[in-house]
Chains A and B, each alone.
Chain A
Amino acid sequence: MLEARNVVASYGKTRVLNGLSVGFEPGRMTALVGPNGCGKSTLLKAIMGFVPLRAGIVRLAGEDLHRIARRGFARRIAYLPQESHCPDYMTLGELVELAGYARYSLLGGPSARDRELFAHALETVGLADMADRQVNALSGGQRQRAFIAMVLAQDAEIVLMDEPVNHLDMKYQYAVLDLVRDLTETHGKTVVTVLHDLNLTTTFADNVVMMREGRLEAMGAVGETVTAETVSRVFDLDADIFARNGRLVCLPNRDIGARIAPPTRTEATA
C-alpha cells in the first residue's frame, strides 16, 4: 500500500502541504479533489520526489519510497504529468518503447515480452494501428491516450495521474477516464488521479481524498465521502448531492457567485 505520513512540502516560503497523511488502497482508483491551490498536484509530486519533503515520509509496502533508486522506483510507480511534451517527429511506437527504459540493460533494448506489452498498451487505448504516426500530429484526445499508453507500457503497479482529462472535451473525458478505470479493473493497478470535476469523480473513482489548504478534509469511499457537508467544507460551495442511475451527482446552487469569499492565500499552481 502507498501511503504518505505527515507530509510537509513548500514552494519557497509558501507551504503547500501541511502535515498530510493519506493512504491509497491497492487495486482501486482514488481521486484527489479540492479547490485550486489546495496541494493536489503537489502531493503527487511529493510522492514522486519532484518536490522535496520538509517533513514526513512516503512509504510503499512499508518501505521508504524515496530510498528506492530511480529505475527501481519507475518499475513500481508510473506518473502522468499535467502537461506532456513530445519532441516533433517522434512516433507513437517510439514513445511507448521509451516507457520500458527502467527494464532495459544499459545498451539493451526491449525484450519480446516488452514488445508484447507495448502492443497491448496501444491496443488498450485504441491506437493499435497508429504506432507509426507522429505523436504531435494526433488529436488532443488521441494524444492524451498515447501518453496513457506510455504509462501502461511502463508496467508499474501504481499509476499517478495529474489531471489526465484536462483540455479534453466531454466525450474524451469519459473515454479516457473509462480507460483509466479499466486499469484498476482488468489490470489490477492502483490509480491515484487528480480530478477537477466532482461528477467525474463520483462516476469513475472508488475512493476520494478531499483536500483544502494542504490538509486532508475527508477520505474514503466515494459514496460515503462526497456529501453536501464535505463539498461545502472543502469547496465552500452549496451543492445538492443526489443519486441518479446509481451514481452521485453534484449540482452546485446558482447563487454561488455572490458568495465567493476573498482568497485566503495566494493561489499556487495546483
Chain B
Amino acid sequence: MRPRWLVLVLIGLALLASLLANLAIGAVQIGWSDVLAALVRFDPDSYDHFVVVYQRLPRALIAIYTGALMAVGGTVLQGLTRNPLASPSTLGINAGAMLFVIVGAYTFDLGLTAQGIAALAGAVFGFASCLSVARLAGLSRDPRGLALILSGALVSMLFVGIANAFLLADPARRTDFLGWITGNINHVYADRLADFWWIGLLSFAILGAIARPLTLVMLGQEKASSAGVNITWVTRAALAAVTLGAGSAVAICGPIGFVGLVVPHIVRPFIGAGLGLALPAGAMTGAIFCLIGDLVARQAFTPYVLHTGVLMDLIGGIVFVAIVRRFYLTPGARGET
C-alpha cells in the first residue's frame, strides 16, 4: 500500500514542476525566482510578472483543468464499460459538446456563458447518441467490444462534419472558432475558466465520493450489487459527473482529445485499479500531460505556435494504435479476465 501513496506524492511533485516549467518557459524566458515572485508578490510594473500572471497562469490553469477532467473521465469510463478504449473523446462526448457550441453560436448567437451551457448539453447528447448507435448496431449488454468505440467514432465524425459545414457556411466568423475547434489552450479563454471551474470541482467531488462503489462496479454489475452498491444511482452519478466535467472542459478550450484515453493506461500499473487513488493520480497526470503538451506546442516549432489539441491528437493516435494492438489484436489478450 505504501508505495502507491509514494507514487501519488511523486506525481504531485511532477505536477508542480511542470506547472513551474510551463510558467517559466516561453517566448520570453523567465527565471524561477521571478515566476515565484510574480505569483506571491505581483509587481504591476514588471513585464515578466504581467506575462506570468495574465498570460501563462491562465493557460496553465486551463491546461490543468482540461487534462485533469479528461483523464478522470477516461478512467471512469474505462472502468464502467470495462473497455480499454473508452474516453470522453472516443465516446462522442467531446464531439457533441463541440457541435452544440458551434451550432449554438452560429444559429442562435449564443453568448459565452450560453455557449458553455450548450457544451454541457452537447456532451450529454453526444454520449447518448453514441450509446443509441451502439444499441442500434446490436450491442446488447456487453460494452467491452469494439462496437461501442466504433459507434463513438461514427458519432464523432458525423458531429465534426456538421460542425465543419457550419464553419464553412460563414467564413467571416470561421476564424473565431478555428482555433477552438482543434482544442486550443489559450489565455484568451480565461473568462470561460472563471465561469465553469465549479463544474469541474463538482465533478471531482461526486466521483471522489463514489470512488469505492465505482471500483466495485468494475468487478461486474452483479458482484457490485451483491456487495451493496446501488448500480443505477452510482452509474448515473458517475456518467453525469464525467459528461458534464468533460463538457465544461470542451466549453473552455475545445475538444482536447486522447488525454482521457491514454492517461488511465499509463497511471494504472503504478497506482492500481482502485479509483480512490487512480482518480487523483489520473487527474494530476492528465494535468501534467496538458501542461507539457501546451509547452511543447508553444515552443517546439517557434516562431509557429501549434495548438495543443493538434499535438495531443498526434501523440494520442499513436498510443491508440498501441492500445488496440495490446487489447484487441494480441491473440488471447481478452477473455482471461
Binding site for B on A (CB under 8 A): 45, 48-50, 70-71, 73-75, 77-79, 81, 83-91, 93-95, 98-99, 101-102, 104, 106-107, 132, 136, 154
Contacts and interface: CB of A to CB of B under 8 A. Distances in A.
A41 to B, nearest CB: 11
Q: Chain A: interface secondary structure?
A: mixed
A88 B209 contact: no
Given A89-B272, A94-B272, A101 B228 contact: yes
Nearest to A104: B212
B227 A74 contact: yes
Interface in B198-217: 209, 212-213, 215-216
Interface in B42-96: 79, 82
Contacts of A70: 225, 228-230
In the A-B complex, the 7 residue pairs with the closest CB atoms = A74-B228, A102-B228, A79-B226, A87-B273, A90-B273, A71-B228, A87-B218
Contacts of A94: 215, 272-274
A88 B222 contact: no
Given A87-B79, A89-B269, A81 B222 contact: yes
A89 B337 CA distance: 12
B310 to A, nearest CB: 31
A101 B213 contact: yes
B1 interface: yes
Given A91-B272, A98-B219, A85 B226 contact: no
B223 A84 contact: yes
B136 to A, nearest CB: 20
Contact of B273 (A75, A83, A84, A88): A88
Contacts of B223: 79, 81, 84-85
Nearest to A82: B222
A74 B274 contact: no
A75 B227 CA distance: 8
Contacts of A101: 212-213, 216, 227-229
Contact of B219 (A45, A85, A106): A85
B268 interface: yes
Contacts of B226: 48, 74, 77-79, 81
Contacts of B225: 48-50, 70
Nearest to A83: B220
B336 interface: yes
B216 A48 contact: no
Centre residue among B213, B219, B336 by max chain A CB count within 10 A: B219
Contacts of A75: 228
Contact of B227 (A49, A85, A89, A102): A102
Given A74-B226, A87-B79, A132-B1, 9 more contacts: A45-B222, A49-B225, A83-B220, A84-B219, A85-B219, A89-B269, A89-B273, A91-B272, A94-B272
Contacts of B212: 98, 101, 104
A77 B216 CA distance: 17
Contact of A73 (B216, B218, B228, B337): B228
Contacts of A49: 225
B222 A79 contact: yes
Contacts of A98: 212, 215-216, 219, 227
21 contacts: A45-B222, A48-B226, A49-B225, A73-B228, A74-B228, A81-B222, A81-B223, A81-B226, A85-B220, A86-B219, A86-B337, A87-B337, A90-B273, A94-B215, A94-B273, A98-B212, A98-B219, A99-B227, A101-B228, A104-B212, A136-B336
